[in-house]
Structure 1
């Protein structure tokens, strides 16, 4: 008798309608143990992509196709102020305030080259629904007030807002952010690259905004763009995880889509760029890096080539494989051809394959080389490409790349849902097959089949894309000592142009608007319109936590290494490194953590023993555990960057001390209620925070900050602010700070990293549970004791630094 094949059992059926959304496509993706459901809203045409997977870390996202139409940063500023209050949540910056009323694992908004995205994630379903409501209303019902536009976008204001005699300057969060971004020469190169390699499409414009053109944006332009491009028909919604998607569909349909009709969204489509008939070349000036190498070597050269359409899933996969073969590691072709001749400082930061635009592109470039070596780069590039075409890649190298891709499928991180969205959003934005994009094993199998049928397959791809490709742009970049001065002159010219036609009434309005905005920024709002978790919602930990602390490399070390390589020969440096290596890499100095399945343990231990047998045995080095705290220090490093980075740090107590959880709660309180309001909203820095690490260092930081000593004064003033807070420090404020701590303490960890906290810093699961319970139990009185204990007097050991 013929066998009976049972149809797979799915939660939903193709053709059925669920809360206004018709299920159109259902597919299994076995390598990731997920089921993909693609649905479409019948009235608006909005696509809803749901991934059903047994994963507690659920993700929700709304994104719109938003090509830039000029260089004013319209989409970037719109992304900022859409998160600055909405119809259901009419409060300033609910995005920030929810960071301390939630245990979300991701809360973010971003604008890229052609889309604007609002994304959140949480492992707690109550929290997930809370965040979902806020993000939906930010996307479909933002207030877009004029005051938020002037705060986050741009405004003309007195340098001292209370002094009408102080000079008038341009301020704004996004305005300052973009000045900071273009302090990095690699971002200058990327800006001009997109402008010149895709000149006939929307990518010609800078979606983030040019600081010299941001002041051309009017509030009315922003509102008009929102009304056109943020229509549901131009949007896409993503939902991932184990929570019931029907609750999401019902809420979306009822609250936002029920009375909406579809519109034609052809206006937002971005076509592929017409291919050039011959290559082009440009030269770009940039900032002189005073911490970089010699002036004569502060140059870069790159070759960029337009590749396949983003919607070509197999083509982009094969380009990713070629990228690994061409630039990753010392065995790669361009490493051997361009780096090993040793006439540069290595690949530049923009080297790689980029998939964010409708047309993908590949770039390879060198940094820190002399101008006279530009011709050599071009020659070596040509020689390398011809060598690949004639000789091909080593078969074991190709197989190694494919094998690593197969292993990557098995090693999935705790933020897998977000990773799926981020790797799919550009493809989805242009109507590509997002499920085919997840079928990594199919893509690998197709490539292997092509290689089996044609052993020259990859060589022919290299010939097509790297030798015969006439859509090729050569970019040279050189440091210009007058670059910063020219930028400042251009900035002043923009301001003068704005001021020249102002009369006394206009100047009075600028002064009054500055005072009004300052008053709004200082206003203590009632946040009860925002949802908030309760302690009952978060009593039980979900998993043993994984907490990463950043390691910051000192500027002094850069100077040391620059002097070191001048003082010693290559041979002397080699001998010193060998001596260090012989003392560090030996058995007595080593600790090992092995994470494997029980079945694999014997094999893993066998390989480990072989490795151990080959290591030298030397006398164990002495372990020094004494804590040496330095005297108070102040450092300022002059760097050729437009904005500042400020920090203050002092030693408090280590992780397992009973006061550490309370200090961590206090750090969250200071960040949300004090630093963000003053350093970011009022003073214009892009970001600021307070934190305490495992090591016991309590730090204050600001970045992309137009101020320096003024910010350090804010850091020093935290005790006065805390005392002034007085009885306003209530249970709700304390709860928000505790929830902010739990976001980090309850962070999901992948299976492969289980136990690393104990291995690295000797924090056991039992220590973690005690720490978590202590953080949740901190009282207001205990917090006040901690405030007086650690902040009333200037600490004996602290440091301050300005970059």
Structure 2
């Protein structure tokens, strides 16, 4: 405590949090303590790291500081923590001008362990040349007569990023606005520039920026303050104050708007590829809450709902398929706003640009509607007060929001203490002309803007790869034999390092919980179940801070096979086509004005007890308890009085859906191949493939082709699905709120159920589909996503909870070493599905293809020969228990418990799984290896890659061009 000065102390009633801002006396390090009753304790340290080039130095350093440190000299302390801690969050992020290292845990000792390892990592990393080569880039040459290659985890990661047109567009949009600042560069690294980074420059970057004087540090939760001071003092007291050169220049305003045109890669077989564009505006700095909040509201007004005027104008114009740009961006020194369209005919580009300005001008001239303002205010205030960060810890979400101003000199509390600025803004927003003035100043009359257009280039991916190969061939030709031999020796030395295990002493240096620290009993979630007519009503009495969460599950078991693909559209059709009593714009406004939002999501999974599947479609809504009547009325309106008559609106929804599916393929390629591979093993997973996988994309494309010529049949199909679904039979309602409120709610919910019709539709017998055992899904990507799968139940495997321990161990040991460290992929993963029996492997942004498949095949042999010491086995058990005990907010707790009840996954079965996990031995690993070895001698394979990679791999695959 003596080393720290208290600068400010304030209670934040809106967060029920005591906030204290400290400064470390010796270094000037800025520290924020947020103390409250949240058991999910969080720590984060961020450094201002503005790069001076696009070599990716900040990104490579983010990876490399987690490759061992002075106190913890193991090769991968990060993965060791993933493997053997109870962490609820563990990661690191590189932004355009800062790098963040956050951790979280519910266990106090585990939390302290995580903080110590991260502090040692950032301040005392090993960052050797070998780790620079592994994580960043290096020339790779195993034999003199082989072609020279670039390898490195970040290098391959960024090849994947630049394979996504949407990523290229967003990066170009940001860079175009700030060309003379650090934002005109790519902090992640451009693949063609990354090899220009030297090890010396890399080391210098750490020395310049990873210093307490350049840090913003947070502690959050219920951990003792004295522990926080102790942990920090050990590292900060070793430094003296410096003045780091880490400030970011403000871009000089443009005199005239600029235009940027770039190519993007498409498959050579793609028919009629189309351009995409954004218009981008530079905005003020995000250091004042009133300024940021006002732009948050304006962003919601323009784009936040299907009824928002700019969004509506662009979608209804028919000029493009879907929005691009993302709207408001607040994590730079100058905020920006980006919006545009994808799927635009090149002849319509000018018309689409004009439409954006015409729409904004109309809003200035005619005024923003009171309904749009009220919708934005309610949605924004609800989000602030709910403080629901999903699976991301609340403390880290607050810290990242704070950093948006803090790293540029703002008070750390400026953007998170929202009560006063929100009240001021609410008053300002009611004043006539407030948002119109903003639109006029910052959009209509703002010349600091850019238009970025990407045009499709079918040959770009091939040209880029050829250029890389030619460049490497030229480099090799210019090298002398001694130079080549040196590279060969460096390659061999790196491979030897990667293959060598950490010493027992190094592993022992890492802090580790004891088995006695693991809770043997499951955490139960209390619920009450009752029935009203044909419906089941679940009640979860949890503290929700005055909010009701309501999940309404409709039975899909009555749908025919040809109706299943439409399920992916249901949420949008019910919520974005209007009703017989209200237009879709009015419906969207009512939802935003009176609730915290409503959305739809399917839930389809095998049952625990029998071979059938559970098929439900959930509408998930939330509101303040004072607005329960509004939420129930909206549910009634949506479900009982929908209209699906407008074929043009339907077409717009399908176009957006298709575009979303296409945009997600490359960024989530591992998910696409895993979904595809599981589809063969169970009816539920066949349906998931048809609703959210590659099949769903083909269905959406086909549906678009048929709308104009076959609308009556399509409309009839949707009406039939609606009539089948809207029934009391099989309805499940889940209510989450404080106990007294639930008692008062029940009569209203029962009355709502009574308004639903009853029907006598019988469950439909659906069938699983057999997919090809080897598929290549062709996309214009410079990097691969490689998957393989087998059904272990077909090899007489009997489910045991040790499978969870083994799967996590494989992911954090075998696959990490083989796929990521040695293979250079961004990630490798595996999962066992205990209900269907599918064991699935996948890699992410992988430069390899057949090598990765071979590694999957070798996994069984690895497990058969594996010998674990007691510490490593304990580490594995801890990681598995951490996975079982994931932290959940109230809405997630109740919905998770609801799904468990649907599936027949009882607390007794959960306890059995936990007992299995805690009793796992090395013998379980070895026996599981026997099964894997047999199952993966001839696995099912699915890869997402380009055409050339598929051909070179020589796999006997069915090729599907996406």
What TM-score does the superposition give when structure 1 sets the normalisation length? 0.91
Is 1:787 the equivalent of 2:929? yes
| TM superposition shift of 1:216 | 0.6
Higher mean C-alpha displacement, 628-637 vs 665-674: 628-637
CA drift of 1:338 comes to 1.2
Equivalent-residue separation in structure 2 for 1:661 and 1:532 (angstroms) = 22
Aligned to 1:5: none
Instruction: Say which of 327, 332, 357 aligns to 2:308.
Output: 332
Distance 1:658 1:399, change over 3 A: farther
Of 605, 618, 634, 2:759 maps to 618
The change in CA–CA distance for 1:539 and 1:589 in structure 2 (over 3 A counts) is closer
Answer yes or no: is 1:768 the counterpart of 2:751: no
1:573 aligned to which of 690, 714, 725 = 714
- The answer to whether the 8 Å contact 2:9/2:18 transfers is yes
Label 1:762 to 1:352 Cα distance change in 2 as closer, same or farther (>3 A).
farther
Please tell me whether the aligned partners of residues 665 and 775 of structure 1 are also in contact (alpha carbons under 8 angstroms).
yes
Matches of 2:152 and 2:104 in 1, distance apart?
29
Separation (CA, whole Å) in 1 of partners of 2:821 and 2:942:
22
Cα offset for 1:798? Answer: 5.7
Alignment of 1:405-554 (within 5 A): 405-408=380-383, 409-410=385-386, 412-413=388-389, 415-452=393-430, 454-496=431-473, 498-526=475-503, 527-540=507-520, 543-544=523-524, 552=675, 553-554=692-693
The answer as to whether partners of 2:83 and 2:812 remain within 8 angstroms in 1 is yes
Unpaired runs of at least 5, structure 2: 527-602, 606-670, 676-691, 945-962
Deviation per CA, 1:311-357: give whole Å up to 9, x if none.
Answer: 13211111111111101222101122211122210102x23111121
Counterpart CA distance in 1 for 2:347 and 2:757 is 47
Secondary structure of the corresponding residue to residue 688 of structure 1:
strand
Kept in 2: contact 1:19–1:250 (CA 8 A): no
Residues 134, 821 of structure 2: 8 Å contact kept: yes
How many Å apart are 1:283 and its aligned residue?
Answer: 1.1
Contact 2:69 2:124 (C-alpha < 8 Å) held by counterparts: yes
**Counterpart Cα distance in 2 of 1:251 and 1:289:** 53
The answer to whether the 8 A contact 1:632-1:797 is kept is: no
The CA distance in 2 between the partners of 1:695 and 1:86, in whole Å, is 41
May I ask how many residue pairs the two structures share in their alignment? Answer: 771
3-state SS in 2 of match to 1:372: helix
> Could you tell me how far apart the structure 2 residues matched to 1:588 and 1:90 are?
60
Within the candidate set 844, 855, 874, 1:703 is matched to 844
- Greater shift, 695-704 or 471-480, is seen at 695-704
Moved more, 278-287 or 777-786: 777-786
Cα distance in 2 between the residues matched to 1:794 and 1:260: 56
Partner of 1:295: 272
Q: Is the 8 A contact 1:545 1:745 kept in 2?
A: no
Residue 822 of structure 2 is aligned to residue 682 of structure 1: yes
Q: By how many angstroms is 1:694 displaced?
A: 5.6
* Counterpart among 560, 582, 601 of residue 699 in structure 2: 560
Alignment of 1:190-269 (within 5 A): 190-253=170-233, 255-265=234-244, 267-269=245-247
- After superposing the two structures, state which structure 1 stretch, 771-780 or 362-371, moved more: 771-780
Question: Judging changes above 3 Å, is the alpha-carbon distance between structure 1 residues 631 and 455 closer, same or farther for their aligned structure 2 residues?
Answer: closer
CA distance, structure 1, for counterparts of residue 205 and residue 779 of structure 2: 38
1:117-156 to structure 2, matched below 5 A, reads: 117-156=100-139
2:96 and 2:832 map into 1 onto residues whose CA distance is 35
Q: Does 1:754 align with 2:893?
A: yes
The one-character-per-residue Cα deviations of 1:385-442 (angstroms, maximum 9, x if unpaired) are 1221122222233222222233221353562112111222232111223313113332
Return the match for 1:323 from 299, 303, 317: 299
Map 1:657-696 → 2, pairs under 5 A: 659-693=799-833, 695-696=835-836
Distance 1:796 1:717 in 2: 9
SS of the equivalent of 2:388 reads: coil
Distance 2:776 2:907 in 1: 41
**Aligned position for 2:329:** 354
Q: Tell me if the contact between 1:347 and 1:366 (Cα under 8 Å) persists in the aligned partners.
A: yes
Q: Secondary structure at the match of 1:434?
A: coil
For residues 777 and 693 of structure 1, what CA distance do their matches in structure 2 show?
A: 20
Structure 2 CA distance for partners of 1:560 and 1:716, relative to 1, 3 Å: same
Shift of 1:607: 4.4
Verify the 8 A CA contact 2:860 2:928 in the aligned structure 1. no
Question: d(CA) in 2 for partners of 1:472 and 1:318?
Answer: 20
2: CA distance between counterparts of 1:302 and 1:627?
44
In 2, Cα distance between the equivalents of 1:541 and 1:272? Answer: 55
Partner deviation per Cα, 1:414-473 (whole Å, 9 max, x = no partner): 621121112222321112233131133323211121134x22111111111121111111
Task: Measure the CA separation in 2 of the matches of 1:122 and 1:598.
Answer: 28
3-state SS, counterpart of residue 689 of structure 1: strand
Is contact 1:669-1:734 (8 Å) kept?
no
Task: Report the secondary structure of 2:206's partner residue.
Answer: helix
Contact (CA 8 Å) 2:792, 2:935: kept in 1 or not?
no
TM-score relative to the length of structure 2: 0.77
CA contact (8 A) 2:522 2:914 kept: no
RMSD (CA atoms): 2.5
**Structure 1: 5+ residue runs without aligned partners?**
1-17
